Structures are given as structure tokens and as C-alpha cells.
Structure 1
Amino acid sequence: MTAEVGAPVSLRPATPRWRETLGLLAHNPTAAVSALLLLALVLVAIFDETLAPQGPNEVDVAARLESPSGAHPFGTDDLGRDILSRVVLGTGVSLRVGFLAVGIALLIGTGIGLLAGFYGRWIDDALMRLMDMLFAFPAVLLAIAVLAVRGTGWGNTALAIGIVYIPVFARVTRASVLGVREEVYVRASRSVGASDWRLLTRHVLPNAAPPIIVQTSISLAFAVLAEAALSFLGLGTQPPDPSWGLMLAEGRGFIDLAWWLAFFPGMAIFLTVLCFNLLGDGLRDVLDPKQRTLMAGGGR
């Protein structure tokens, strides 16, 4: 059946890829709810001082170890400090460390993976053996070693976690680049004299980006968890800065008398890590070409 002569032709531009991605993500209920919750957490972190009923270290000895009530919805700790205020203010610390750590790992690890995957040969061997050396260290011990050299604090904690995750991003990027560098459009651009920089930035990296984006979401979850673990051990965020992991450590000795001291910061960690992981799963489905086609076609 042939098209009718003179039939109108649609001149509307194709939907931008990023807008189509957001639309597909919005149709994934789990990922959409997770993204909204994470957006709410980011807003809490930005406006934490405004939202917190009290300061993180306002002591009220007369109200120590009070159970959750109207005056203190999350209760108080052994010094009479409001748990809700400390959880709210700890959101900024945990997310700041998580985003900074993943930013460091993403920037350095992606650069290493691009070079190793694109050029191959001795560059690939040298860079990947260096990443293998970092992988040989247990993640927690490597972070502790960095903190032992640099000292404690949320900034050094972010640096330590970022160093731990550099090899992860390097390997993910390298594997993705290896599948892209021999594509027809890359070889065609190279044949017309395109520079390596143009090939990397215009062709290789954009098409290798989906696995890196998914890994970023998953790494943010583990970065928040790692910050809490290091702070719990006394090696991460230090007083007077509030931290979810530090609150767990402080409430450990009162777990039999005041369950709320560990419950609410623990739930904050749990929900944040869960949302990042669920968002990563949603991004994986949306950015995978086969899954993307099925979702765009209504699952048929």
C-alpha cells in the first residue's frame, strides 16, 4: 500500500532523548517515587537549618532520654538534644559526603576508563594494573588508611570513599568504551580526520554513558552507607557536626533504654540507600536499549 500523494508530512522535531528518558522513568512507579523521595532529601539538606526545630547541639538535661512526643517527635538523646533536629541536620552531612565522594570517583575513574578503553595496548595494561592494585585492598581498610594519613572530618571522609570507588568507575567506563569504540560512526569520524578529543567527547562518551549513570546512582547509595559506617567507627564525621552514623554510635549504649536513639537515624540511612538503589534499577531499565524499546512500546 503506497502513501497518498500530497499527504501532509509531520515536521515536528523528534522528542529529545533526555525528555523521553524522563518520561519513561516517570512511568516506572518505583523509580519515580524513589526520585521524588531523593529530591525531598536534597531539599531537606539544602534547607536543613530552617527545617530543624532546634540546633544539633542544644542541650536540655531536664529532657534527656524522652520518648517520642509532641514536643520531640523523634525523642531526645542522653544529653537532651532533639533527635529530629539532628537527623534533619545530618541529612546535609551524609548527602554532602556522598555526592562529593562519587563526584571524585566519577571524574577520575571515568577519565581513566576512557583512556584505557579507547587507546588500549600498553596504556590499557598500565592503567588497569593500577586499578587492580586498588581493588586488592579491602574497601574499608583502604578508606581507613586514607583517613589515617589525611585525618578525620567529613571532607577527608569524602576523599577516602572517592578513592575507594575510582577503580569501580574506571572498569565500568572501560567496558562500556570497548563496546563503542569500534562502532561504524566512530570509525567513520576517524576516517574523515576527527581528533581523538572530538571522538571521545562527541561520540564515545555519550554512547558509553548509560552504564556510568546507573553506576553513579548505585555508588551514591554505597557512599552514604560507607560514610555512616566510618562515622560509627569514629573515623568519619566528628562532633559537633551531626551524622547519622555518629548518632548510631552515640545511641548504641542506650539501645535497651531508648530505642529511638538508633531507630530514626538507622531508618534515615535505610531509606536513602534504598531509594538510590531503586533509582539505579529504574535508570538501568530506561537506559538499556532493549528495555527502552519495550517500555516505549507499552511492554509489547
Structure 2
Amino acid sequence: MTALPTPGATPAAPPPGAPVSFKPARPRWRETLGLLARNPTAATAALVLLAIIVVAVFDEAFAPQAANAQDIANRLQPPSADHPFGTDDLGRDILSRVVLGASVSLTVGFLSVGLALVGGTLIGLLAGFYGRWVDDVLMRIMDMLFAFPAVLLAIAIVAIRDPGTFNTILAIAIVYVPIFARVTRASVLGVREEVYVRASRSVGASDLRLLTRHVLPNAAPPIIVQTSISLAFAVLAEAALSFLGLGTQPPNPSWGLMLAEGRGYIDLAWWLAFFPGIAIVITVLCFNLLGDGLRDVLDPRQRTLMAGGGR
């Protein structure tokens, strides 16, 4: 009969030659999601953003009417059971236009930030990793772009290339490339001199392997946080350009364009500008709160405190 181990006793070492089992480490992304879920503010913001994204992707399923369906007999109707967000000066349903406008605003935000992320990260990687004249040339170009106020630069680019959704995406992307380049470069400068990078270089690892396998993964946390924050400002920039008539063009729905259309009726029909304005506020606030949560989770010192229960 095999003797049962005594509670509290140190388990005996396995005999020589016996297989040793190792418990696999928990994947870092799962640990990150677990810590993020323990942050109620960031978790709530993530859930709200997920709901907004679902509405934007399946916009026609959530919109009660077509975006430009007019009902002149019921123009400027206040919120009611038939029209929860009211109607505008052409009798169009505001709820439908807000839902369909979410698709435009988020599409512009994600595509513009995605382009800026790719371009800025590549520039920052090269500048931070190689240094010297590569760093000087690339970062001086970024400094020139960064010297212009972001909104004014975007307005100038759209004005040169004509208003429209595509040009809005391009303008916002160009504006945010220097931001991602500077964040990436600062992170790479701290990573490229780490022991594991030097060890890989000493055994003959190529620059491409060093950049993709060692430098970029370890420099990613600040870039991820910057992406979330930039999405918030991209939504604001799209709304600002559309409000000025340089972004999405009518009759296509856009939150910024709806604000511009409702500006002249603010005393007569407050709901024309209120609901698209609330949609912008909620979306931008959630992106910012999610960015704050990601910053806490991805910061090594904060991560240790959160994993240890705050002790």
C-alpha cells in the first residue's frame, strides 16, 4: 500500500530518470486581460466601446430607418416613442443617423490611427535602433510635422486635397505619425541596450530578427497605450473637420456634420446637436479611460502592485 503524504511535509524529490512536469507559464496577454478586468473603470469603458463598435459594424440592423429617409410632415419632432432621438429639419430620424454616423466616425478613427501606427512605429524603430544620422534625419522630419498644430495641419491637408472621408483619414494619419514615431523611438532607446538584445547580436542575429523578435515586442506597451489615446483624438478630429465642412460631406451622416447641421436650431430643437454630441463625448471618454487602464496594466511597477493585490 502506498503511504499518503503527511500534510505540510515537503514532497520528496522525484527519482533519477523520472519525467519532470513543468506548469506552463500563463500567457502574458491573458494576464494583461485579467488585470484589466480587475480595473472596473477600464473594464466598463472597454465594454461600452465594444458595444459602440458592434453598433457601428451592424449599423443597418440597429437603425430604425434609412439615414436619409425624409418625412417633412414630422420635421423637428422632439424625442418620442416613434423617434427616440427626435427628427431633424428634413424629418430624418436622429437615432438612425447617430447609429449610421458611428460607422463613419469609427472607420475614420481606426483607419487613420492604423496608418499612423504603422508609419510612425516603423520610423521610430529605425531611428531608435540605428541612431546617428538615421535618427537625425528621420526625427528632424518628424519635428517639422510636429511643429504645426494638429488640427490646423489636418485642415490644411484636407483643404489642399479637397474635402471627403478619404482625405480626412489621410490628414489625421499624417498628423499622428510624428506622435507614434516619438513614442516608439523613446521606447526603443531603452530596449536596444538590454542584455538580451546584446546577447542575440553577439550570436549573429540579423537586425530584422532583433527588431521583430526582441526590440518591438518589448517596446510595444507605450505604443499600445498611445494607440488607445490617439483613437480618442482621431474621433474628435474627424468630428471637428466634418463640423467645419472639410470632412464627411452631406447627406452622409457623421457626428461632426450633425453637430454643424443642428447648430442653427439649438434654441428651437436642442436634440439635433445633443445626441451626436453625447455620442462623441461617450466614445472619446471611453477611449481615454481604456488608455489609462492599459497604461496602469502595462507599466511594470503598476503591474506588480496590481498582481499582488495592491500591497
CA distance in structure 1 between the partners assigned to 2:170 and 2:99 by the alignment: 23
Aligned match of 1:242: 253
Aligned match of 1:142: 153
Aligned match of 2:270: 259
Structural mapping, 1:64-83, within 5 Å: 64-83=75-94
Q: What letter corresponds to residue 97 of structure 1 in structure 2?
A: V
Q: What letter corresponds to residue 67 of structure 1 in structure 2?
A: P
CA distance in structure 2 between the partners assigned to 1:70 and 1:90 by the alignment: 21
CA distance in structure 1 between the partners assigned to 2:247 and 2:218 by the alignment: 37
Give SS of 1:124's match. Answer: helix
Provide structure 2 residue ranges, at least 5 long, that are not aligned to the other structure. Answer: 1-8
Identity %: 81
CA distance in structure 2 between the partners assigned to 1:137 and 1:211 by the alignment: 23
Structural mapping, 1:1-300, within 5 Å: 4-6=11-13, 11-300=22-311
CA distance in structure 1 between the partners assigned to 2:155 and 2:33 by the alignment: 39
Provide structure 1 residue ranges, at least 5 long, that are not aligned to the other structure. Answer: none
CA distance in structure 2 between the partners assigned to 1:295 and 1:103 by the alignment: 30
CA distance in structure 1 between the partners assigned to 2:21 and 2:310 by the alignment: 26
Shift of residue 10, structure 1, vs aligned partner: 6.2
CA distance in structure 1 between the partners assigned to 2:99 and 2:300 by the alignment: 39
Aligned match of 2:5: none
CA distance in structure 2 between the partners assigned to 1:33 and 1:4 by the alignment: 44
Shift of residue 5, structure 1, vs aligned partner: 2.9
Q: What letter corresponds to residue 254 of structure 1 in structure 2?
A: Y
CA distance in structure 2 between the partners assigned to 1:257 and 1:9 by the alignment: 76
Question: Residue by residue, what CA displacement relative to the aligned partner does 1:21-51 show, whole Å, maximum 9, x if unpaired?
Answer: 0000000000001001111111001110111
CA distance in structure 2 between the partners assigned to 1:161 and 1:126 by the alignment: 23
CA distance in structure 1 between the partners assigned to 2:201 and 2:251 by the alignment: 56
CA distance in structure 2 between the partners assigned to 1:92 and 1:224 by the alignment: 11
Q: What letter corresponds to residue 174 of structure 2 in structure 1?
A: I
Task: Kindly name which structure, 1 or 2, has the bigger radius of gyration based on alpha carbons.
Answer: 2
Shift of residue 11, structure 1, vs aligned partner: 2.4
* Superposed CA RMSD: 1.3
Instruction: Compare 144-153 and 50-59 and name the one that shifted more.
Output: 144-153
Question: Residue by residue, what CA displacement relative to the aligned partner does 1:110-143 show, whole Å, maximum 9, x if unpaired?
Answer: 0000000000000000001000110111111211
Give TM-score scaled by structure 1 length.
0.98
- Number of aligned residues: 299
Give SS of 1:179's match. Answer: helix
Give TM-score scaled by structure 2 length.
0.94
Q: What letter corresponds to residue 70 of structure 1 in structure 2?
A: A
